[in-house]
């Protein structure tokens, strides 16, 4: 076999490996009901429920944020993010979360906030310290 054939086979094998590893981290947009049913990692879009408490005590645990989110289907669930609370968190218009259901709670690994129109086109991205 020629060296060029061996090199071409190696390149194809590496490309297939990259495609397989990249496809494992693909998440889909979902809601709480679908996330509960399939148990896989998903993305949720929703709004902060402002009449429910936000649990964040930086003196006790600066990397614990608990809050309630209303998804696009109208279902409300508690969300836990193992990261510091972002500035202007309560003022966000919408929240995009990546994570999965753990019992009745949604364990988020990433959070993206859409800021109010005053800060048009600005987004805040938060990544959890916890490896999922």
- Mind listing the pLDDT tens digit for each residue in 45-93? 999 999 999 999 999 999 999 999 999 999 999 999 999 998 888 888 8
∠ CA 23-29-35, rounded to 5°: 95
Q: Does 105 or 124 have the greater pLDDT score?
A: 105
Do 48 and 101 contact (CB within 8 A), yes or no? Answer: no
Q: What pLDDT score does 29 carry? A: 81
In words, the CATH class of domain 27-127 is mainly beta
Predicted pLDDT of residue 120: 52
Tell me the mean pLDDT in the region 83-111: 91
pLDDT at 75: 94
pLDDT tens track for 2-13? 888 888 898 999
At 25 the pLDDT is 57
Q: Which alpha helices (DSSP H) does the chain contain, by range?
A: 3-23, 32-38
pTM over 0.75: no
pLDDT surpasses 90 at 26 = no
């Amino acid at each position: 076999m020629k060296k060029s054939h061996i090199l071409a086979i190696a390149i194809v094998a590496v490309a297939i490996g990259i495609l397989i590893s990249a496809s494992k981290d693909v998440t889909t947009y979902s809601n709480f009901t679908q996330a509960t049913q399939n148990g896989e990692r998903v993305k949720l879009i929703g709004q902060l429920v402002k009449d429910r408490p936000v649990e964040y005590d930086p003196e006790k645990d600066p990397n614990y944020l608990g809050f309630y989110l209303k998804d696009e289907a109208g279902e409300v669930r508690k969300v836990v993010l193992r990261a510091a609370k972002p500035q202007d968190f309560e003022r966000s218009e919408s929240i995009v979360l990546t994570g999965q259901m753990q019992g009745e709670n949604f364990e988020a690994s990433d959070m993206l906030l859409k800021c109010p129109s005053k800060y048009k086109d600005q987004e805040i991205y938060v990544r959890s310290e916890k490896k999922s």
